[in-house]
Structure 1
Amino acid sequence: MQNFFGPVLIVIVAILFFGTIFGICYLYFTSRTRERLALVERGLDPNFFRPRRTALKYGMVIFSVVLGMTLGDLIPFRYPVGVPLGVMLGGLSLIVYYFIIDKRLDKRDEA
């Protein structure tokens, strides 16, 4: 009997796993469609929530993480500090990105 429950349990877990992923994706896309339809009905742009200037953000984060990991490997220290330094510099780059975008949006609003 034990040999029978192993494959059945694997199939049940797989069905639940992929069903959960499908359910989350379905809810995400249907709610997004409803939001966009509501924006169109009100006469607004449906791409209102689309993020802008994401290439700058991703470039800054990737560069900062790689720089931090490289510097962490070069620093002679008792413990490995590459990954924590990379994560810290990645977070710092997101903060800097926020201030850059905030300043650009302020200039655009003034003009």
Structure 2
Amino acid sequence: METYVLAPPADAIERLDELLVAPKFGPDGALYTGVSDPVVRRAAEAIINTAIAQVRDLLRSPTDSAAVLHIFRAGLQRLTLSDTEDRERAAIHVEEIMECIGLESSQGLLNEFVYGFEPGNLAP
């Protein structure tokens, strides 16, 4: 795993704060119908919000990509989403965090979470 020091944008904390209060796992008005079980939806939202808060706290000091990916891995392991669309939505929320902080790659973590494998590890 490639590790590097993060250089987040100046507004990263503010963007994470906005992301923290945004609703998650609800219907998007287009194709995604949201997590149907309200208990599961609240639990999933709490896990993503915890990850956002932890990443925000990390940014108060210099940090590296490995520390952020560790937070993502811990949160994703706690999610109990059986539907692929819901796992894809969780990955989208993680990607939003990544965008806020300038993290360019999950290094296969999101593919592994959503689909159960990293395509780059497939044998030819």
TM-score scaled by length of structure 2: 0.28
Q: Whose relative contact order is higher, 1 or 2, with alpha carbons under 8 Å and at least 6 apart? A: 2
